[in-house]
Amino acid sequence: MELFRIKNDIPFMSYGRLTTAISLITFILAIFFLATRGLNFGVDFTGGTVMEVNYPQAADLDSIRKAVDSIGLKEATVQNFGSSKDVLIRLPAKSDVSVAKLSEQVKTALVAADAKAEVRRVEAVGAQVGNELYENGALALFFVVVGIMLYLWMRFEWRFALAAIIANMHDVVIILGFFAFFQWEFNLTVLAAVLAVLGYSVNESVVVFDRVRENFRKMRKATVVQVIDNAITRTMSRTVITHAMTQTMVGSMLFFGGEVLHNFALALTIGILFGIYSSVLVACPIAMWLGVSRANLIGDIDKDKKEKDGATNEKVVEPHPSDFA
């Protein structure tokens, strides 16, 4: 399916130096903010208090947030839990206040806002549990990266594989850089979004590289630049359709999903936008500069073709009856 067809190839590779320079600057800035500001880890990683509150009617999350904010807990997360009547409140750890005292303060504020509020459960998430979640999350990210690297290495010639790996790591670091710069809360849902972006971005790279490899087989007289430009241009319609539909769904979560899904959708949005950019304007120029060519991708096809043509043009000698005497 194509929304539009572009007749002339767009010279993407002529802008390769510019786009790669922009990506390099953005990447360095992301590393800088990660090193200087760091990530604003949520309760999942740092530890804290979790409270489950029940209401006889659908809970008003905005009034609950205001009640929690009124006692100086602006970092708290308020979300529905199971049903519209149940609410889960995550409170950050405070070294100078015990869990019992903190939960009692929150309970008092909630009852003051709505006398029918019922606290059903209070649990403390220790720093040890947070550290384990942090380590497990880092391991999950590491194994996903390794798995994608192995897949790309087996799927493509090593120059394309290396270019795709660099582009995918570029997307992940950019997302983390945004969260470090704006100090948005980084929790398990955001980590899930980062892992999703890795898979999403590598899919885009595979589509473009498959078309490049196909073009090397068909466009025998074209240069490497012409082959790559044609591949990107011919996949433009597919790219627009795929990413527009995906972003429509993610946008609905971003604007209508509430506080719980906001950072998750935000990370996906950044990943989708930079995923398109990196797959086309980062991975392809890097592959070109690494020296990818027809010979790298299709081996000795030209040689085999010549041998076949030579065998076809050979003079056929009919056997003489005396040869069988």
DSSP 283: H
Dihedral through CA 271, CA 272, CA 276, CA 281, nearest 10?
A: -20
List pLDDT tens digits, range 15-48: 888 888 888 999 999 999 999 999 888 777 777 8
pLDDT for 314 equals 47
- Token pair in block for residue 315: 């003079």
CATH 3.30.70.3400 in the chain is located at: 48-125
pLDDT for 88 equals 85
Q: Return the CATH superfamily for domain 12-38+130-299.
A: Multidrug efflux transporter AcrB transmembrane domain (1.20.1640.10)
Assign residue 49 a region: left if phi > 0, alpha if psi is -120 to 50, beta otherwise? beta
Rg (CA), the chain: 28
DSSP track, 64-119: HHHHHHTTT-TT-EEEEESEEEEEEEEEE--TTS-HHHHHHHHHHHHHHH-TT-EE
48-125, which class in CATH? alpha beta
Q: What angle do CA 23, 14, 283 make, to 5 degrees?
A: 40
CATH 1.20.1640.10 in the chain is located at: 12-38+130-299
By the 8 A CB rule, do 198 and 55 touch? Answer: no
Between CA 238 and CA 1 the distance in angstroms is 7
By the 8 A CB rule, do 214 and 156 touch? Answer: no
Task: Identify the segments of the chain with pLDDT beneath 70.
Answer: 1-4, 126-130, 296-325
Is the pTM above the cut of 0.95? no
Between CA 164 and CA 177 the distance in angstroms is 20
By the 8 A CB rule, do 125 and 142 touch? Answer: no
Label the pairing between strands 40-41 and 77-81: unpaired
